Amino acid sequence: MKQTRLFIGQLIKMMANKLQGDNKVFYNNLPTNVKAFAFNNFRGLSIAFIEKEDEAYTLTLSDDSKITVNQDGSWQKIDCSQESVLMSLLPARITANISNVFDDAKIVRAEKNAEGYVVELTNTVCMKYDCQGLAA
């Protein structure tokens, strides 16, 4: 009997954790900085889905683009497979290098971390840059 109660208790706890562990977030619960980033940089697109992981929010937009934004409104990842990433979100050195080396290529993915930037172009070339925007 005691084992049955223990099993049922664990089962209920697992189900509760599964429900609470759902990373979905409603738009109204997004930090103001995250909303502002999406609104200012992706005008005309609506947010279709939101997930939270640690202190970052991944927003899936109406064109299937995905952006990961920290609570402070700074971006971590941008995946715009349908369109190109806004050049204004990247350091000028990176955009100048890409424009000079890859004349007609557009940036479709960008990731920013402590080491620098990684960008992927429409021609499937992947480039790495340091924090100052210099090719690594």
Structure tokens that stand for 60 in this block = 């899936």
**Would the pTM of this model clear 0.85, i.e. be above it?**
no
* Mean pLDDT split into 10-residue runs, the chain, 136 residues: 57 50 82 94 91 94 94 95 84 93 90 95 93 90
CB-CB contact of 7 with 26 (8 Å)? no
Which residues touch 99 (CB under 8 Å, ≥6 apart)? Answer: none
* 71-109 CB burial, b ≥16 within 10 A, e <16: eeeebebbbbeeeebeeebbbeebbebbeeeeeebebbb
For residues 118, 121, 126, 129, the Cα torsion angle rounded to the nearest 10 degrees is: -40
Are residues 98 and 125 in contact, defined by beta-carbon separation less than 8 angstroms?
no
**pLDDT value of residue 12:** 59
The pLDDT assigned to 20 comes to 47
Question: Is 94 in a helix, a strand, or coil?
Answer: helix
pLDDT at 104: 85
pLDDT per residue as tens digits for the range 59-85: 999 999 999 999 999 999 999 977 788
pLDDT of residue 39: 93
Q: Which burial class, exposed, middle or buried, applies to 34 when counting CB atoms under 10 A from its CB (0-12, 13-18, 19+)?
A: buried
Which single residue is written with the structure tokens 């990247």? Answer: 90
